[in-house]
Structure 1
Amino acid sequence: MKWALSELNKFRDGQLDFSETIDLSDSLKIRDHSILNVEPITVDGFLQVNREGYLAHYVAKTVITMPSSRSLEPVEIPMALSVDEEYMTQRQYDAITDLSEDEKNLIIVLEKDLIDLSESIEDFILLNLPMQVLTEDEKQSTDYPKGDFWTVVSEDELKKEREIEATTTIDPRLAKLSELFNEDGE
């Protein structure tokens, strides 16, 4: 998904529509080792060309397979990303006078006379990967994994356990006093 600026300039004050299917599985797996598989990505969108720069709008759809956060079982995650990016040459960027510094930081300055949306698609997929991946059964279940000397507990359960421990634990400095009281009471 690469276009030379000379090719895009033929569409000045217009737009170039595109619809492609690309395979970025290998490069995504290299960039994030937790990715098990990436189905081919369908990309539909347009590049709008004008004197000020190049505006890319596209929707990328794919299904990514990642291991479950709890059991490491493969989980398929459908993704549909809508992306808008603005590209400019260095000369176009230097000519900007009416944008704030924050707005200027959102513009991608081209290092070559080439727009490559593959890099953008990869970046947005990686930015939108979920932090927690669960199978359908794991989403419905309240059982957490456990081993011989360990257990996974939810934050709520941990908080309850700590509250119970705080109320039942006797301060070691006062432990002798409680024994004294029990002996006198009998």
Structure 2
Amino acid sequence: MNWSLSDLMKHREPLHFSENLDLKEDLVNRSFGVSDASLIKVDGDAIKDRDAALVTAKVTGKIVVPSSRSLKPVDLDLDFSINEYYVVEGTNLDRFGPEETVLPVKDDRIDFSRAVADNIILQIPMQIFSPEEETGNEPMPAGKDWEVVSEEDKEEKKINHVDPRLAKLKDLFKSENSESK
């Protein structure tokens, strides 16, 4: 989905678009962990707004990313909106608020497919777990001399665990007390 900013600025009526984008290759190459992506459905409008073009779109689809805990593939449903202003490079941006996304356009070309891919990458959470891992039905990963423990298990082990270097010191005060009597 490539547009010319000058063409969008000429439209008096909103330009409606509805497309299915195949962004799998772009997402796999640009984002660590994305292993698959369905066709991404994009419905929206491009509207002239004074000296800018406002593009609003609804994005839906599905990508596959690794679980943060086990690295098993997890389906991540996408359902979000994009609201971006496109302006000619060098335009005064004072009229836009800090919460608005304003992107300068070079060479009069808007690559909205790239913008959709950028926004998909931003939607990937820092931690994602499979449904089994979220419910606790999946055992925690472990290997030779290591294991993943939950916060609750960690606290329990901390309470019940005595550092072997300090184990002999617990008897030190008992012997001093018995000598002083």
What TM-score, normalized to structure 1?
0.81
User: What residue is the counterpart of 2:104 in the other structure?
Assistant: 109
What residue is the counterpart of 2:77 in the other structure? 78
Alpha-carbon offset, residue 159 of structure 1: 2.3
**Equivalent-residue separation in structure 2 for 1:106 and 1:66 (angstroms):** 26
> In the TM superposition, what is the alpha-carbon distance from 1:166 to its structure 2 partner?
6.8
Q: Which amino acid aligns with 1:124?
A: N
Superposed CA offset, 1:133-182 (max 9, x none): 22222222263122232221112321232233479x95765542324557
The answer to whether the Cα contact below 8 Å between 2:28 and 2:34 also exists between their aligned partners in 1 is yes
In 1, Cα distance between equivalents of 2:133 and 2:94: 53
> Out of 146, 150, 155, which is 2:151 matched to?
155
TM-score (norm 2): 0.83
Name the residue aligned to 1:17: 16
Tell me which moved more, 107-116 or 175-184.
175-184
For the residues of structure 2 that align with 1:69 and 1:90, how far apart are their CA atoms? 39
- Consecutive unaligned residues in structure 2, runs of 5 or more: none
What is the identity, as a one-letter code, of the residue corresponding to 2:105? L
Does the CA-based 8 Å contact 2:24-2:37 persist in structure 1? Answer: yes
Distance 1:140 1:183 in 2: 56
RMSD of equivalent CA atoms: 3.0
CA distance in 2, matches of 1:113, 1:15: 19
Which residue matches 1:26?
A: 25
8 Å CA contact retained: 2:14, 2:46? yes
> In 1, distance between residues paired with 2:126 and 2:157?
26
Between the aligned residues of both structures, percent identity stands at: 30
**Displacement of 1:40:** 1.1
- Cα displacement string for residues 83-136 of structure 1 (whole angstroms, at most 9, x for unaligned residues): 101111135x23x55456x46x84211122011111211111111112222222
Cα distance 1:98–1:125, how it changes in 2: closer, same or farther (>3 A)? closer
SS of residue in 1 equivalent to 2:68: coil
